[in-house]
Structure 1
């Protein structure tokens, strides 16, 4: 069993129904509308509710930031890359359906070694907000999806589709075979992210804190995009940078084609997309 804590994470876990909740614990000392809403959701879902002292809950959560509510949940079951491919058929070699048939293009997020749980939580929160179709994280060199991530994401981690992959490069290559463009974010890349047309099936790849993308991941990308910087520092925090690009992608996808300014013609960089 895992411990989930905080009002939003527990509430979203109850709403999503994706993870089995054994029981919910609430603080005896807390009586308010927000807590009553969680108790009501638990009863609707058939989840047992118990009450304990705040001190005992702090011991269980190993933090005093639990806001008077905990949930004991079963271990998260991750998806595989095959569960996210646009064809929607596990193991299928079928190509992406035309946009007219699907209604919209797919947009994925891949994280190449994001190890700070607060950054991971913030990225998952944004991914949920913009409607990302799935998030790829490597089994190694990545922060675990734990209670800290759930709290930072305000419960969004309970809704986002997350695939844990053994080899990120191999998974990106698999997406490329499904006609998905692989877009890395790099401070030395070109073009600017605003000049790229996101109205296509694509996956945005974000690198490690400080170090950025691994070389092999970078070489796998079809394009390397950059965020222009006018100040003294050369880069942004990965969760901030990811949010900026994800929202630009959403803006383009939600705006009628005749309204969106035509992006500059992108020249494929030599050595990329191999």
Structure 2
């Protein structure tokens, strides 16, 4: 799910960098991300916003069978309205002086952690 404004449009460059993932994952563009998050809440999803200053480690925030991870823009992070709308804010704990990853790496790590949580809790 991406907002119509302030997000890259689907293009050849995006498709190439996605390495074929656009063929397997639906891209949904919404006018208002906060409204879309509200609809996810109504559908039973826990929405977790990733923030390098989040109050809890990502793995400690998982709860339930439906998880939507919310990532912000490179550098700027989550918009204030998005921060206020998500169910929880969480951080990826990083060793040393580095406090955050770029958004693609943060997405990969958080998707792996969510998948691991869901797999363990579905057995």
Normalising by structure 2, what TM-score?
A: 0.91
Gaps of 5+ in 1: 1-135, 259-274
Paired with 2:121 and 2:9, the residues of 1 have a C-alpha distance of 38
- CA deviation after TM superposition for structure 1 residue 197, in Å: 2.8
Q: Is the 8 A contact 1:137 1:164 kept in 2?
A: yes
- CA deviation after TM superposition for structure 1 residue 198, in Å: 4.9
Q: Is the 8 A contact 2:46 2:63 kept in 1?
A: no
1:93-141 Cα shifts (integer Å, max 9, x gaps): xxxxxxxxxxxxxxxxxxxxxxxxxxxxxxxxxxxxxxxxxxx011110
- CA deviation after TM superposition for structure 1 residue 190, in Å: 2.1
1:144 correspondence with 2:9? yes
Q: Is the 8 A contact 1:198 1:249 kept in 2?
A: no
Any residues of structure 2 matched to 1:18-167 within 5 Å, and which?
136-167=1-32
1:170 correspondence with 2:35? yes
Q: Secondary structure at the match of 2:74?
A: coil
Which has the higher relative contact order, 1 or 2, with Cα contacts under 8 A spaced 6 or more apart? 2
Q: Which residue of 2 aligns with 1:247?
A: 112
Whichever structure has more helix as a proportion of its residues is 2
Paired with 1:137 and 1:197, the residues of 2 have a C-alpha distance of 22
Q: Which residue of 2 aligns with 1:266?
A: none
- CA deviation after TM superposition for structure 1 residue 231, in Å: 1.7
Q: Which residue of 2 aligns with 1:44?
A: none
Normalising by structure 1, what TM-score?
A: 0.43
How many residue pairs match? The answer is: 123
Paired with 2:41 and 2:120, the residues of 1 have a C-alpha distance of 26
Gaps of 5+ in 2: none
1:212–1:256 distance in 2 versus 1, CA, 3 Å: closer
